[in-house]
A and B are shown apart, each in its own frame.
Chain A
């Protein structure tokens, strides 16, 4: 297999940017007007949310490609993207909870992004669960693609549903906006998380492809046929 040079480069760049952006955000940018230093969590929380949405969109794209062409490569990429979505959602949740606790005294505040992410996490984790139960590769690819398409289409519905529901319950606001002087660290981190996500997808899909190749045995030798 070809070495993953540019993908590794992307990953390294992503980590470097993450360090830069986080240091800037944590030390150099001014504190937020209302919430003080705690709002700095937004520098991690919000980019993670964006990348999660992007990863799920990639998954949707690969799902369509996999269903249409049947090529195994697309299933590998799909599996990587679904996993990335789940991992990002898992990372999002604690950062959201870390923000909520000192601010409001509760660990969970039904923030739109958090609640939608939790539902999204369960939805996409279910796809991974489905994959675990199907052994036959072709069937697994088709079913993963179908489940991903169904799940992705739900995302806007989840968002609107949770948002309307939340507005009724008049729950507290969250680190949604970031004012003027803080744009740069935010942008840096957004790219950082994106690059790391792409690197993760490339790595995971490679592993999936490798697993598949090991699973599949070579064709047996043709036996000599006896004719009557």
Chain B
């Protein structure tokens, strides 16, 4: 199918561009690590408190980094109006949406292998090796849950004045349930899951992802073009 071919081509294009502009990945990483450090200043040196809060702080760092990454992902499309050129070929907007969302998800996931060890070190946290798989899964689900509505919104706001404030304004409240579920899950993995709640939270994460990946693809074609 044409759409699938276009999707594969666009993913390859986005990944190639990400690689060529990999300096910005470094910038976002440094930003994220800085936030982790600042959180520990805010909370103080009490180890027990830091351990309990570590899951939440990791998710917050990911959220703040996501706004930087998401905003950038469309900047490259509008420098020379390259995206408009693609729509004129014509390229199916649904393919554009999913290619961008997949690439943005990968971008956020890749922050994990650096951020998590930094947080573990700063907050004196220990995770049992057996739980690392679950940890990675929760991280991936959170990343993809942020990427779907984030891609939709950054696609909408990327050429507007006030984009810097609009994207967080729209995304942060929306991500509320995602963040609650993600923070609870990571905290349970770190501090222990006495009542076996992890399954329920993971379910909420999956529900969030499925819902927003679906409606994102349906709604993006309505907002992808300027109309001016």
Contacts and interface: CB of A to CB of B under 8 A. Distances in A.
Interface string B110-137: 0000000000000000000000000000
Contacts, number: 86
Interface in A138-160: 138-139, 142-143, 145-147, 149-151, 153-154, 157-158, 160
Contacts of A157: 177-178, 204, 207-208, 211
B207 A146 contact: no
B200 A164 contact: yes
Nearest to A147: B170
B156 A138 contact: no
What secondary structure prevails in chain B residues at the interface with A? helix
Interface in B140-164: 149, 152, 156-157, 160-162
A94 interface: no
B176 A158 contact: yes
A136 B181 contact: no
B48 interface: no
B177 A158 contact: yes
Interface in B91-107: none
A133 B197 contact: no
B215 interface: yes
Given A149-B219, A168-B197, A154 B174 contact: yes
A181 interface: no
Interface string B175-198: 011101100100000000000010
A161 B180 contact: yes
Interface of A: 67, 119-120, 122-123, 126-127, 129-130, 133-134, 136, 138-139, 142-143, 145-147, 149-151, 153-154, 157-158, 160-162, 164-165, 168
14 contacts: A126-B170, A133-B166, A143-B223, A145-B222, A146-B219, A146-B223, A149-B219, A153-B215, A157-B207, A157-B211, A161-B180, A164-B184, A164-B204, A165-B180
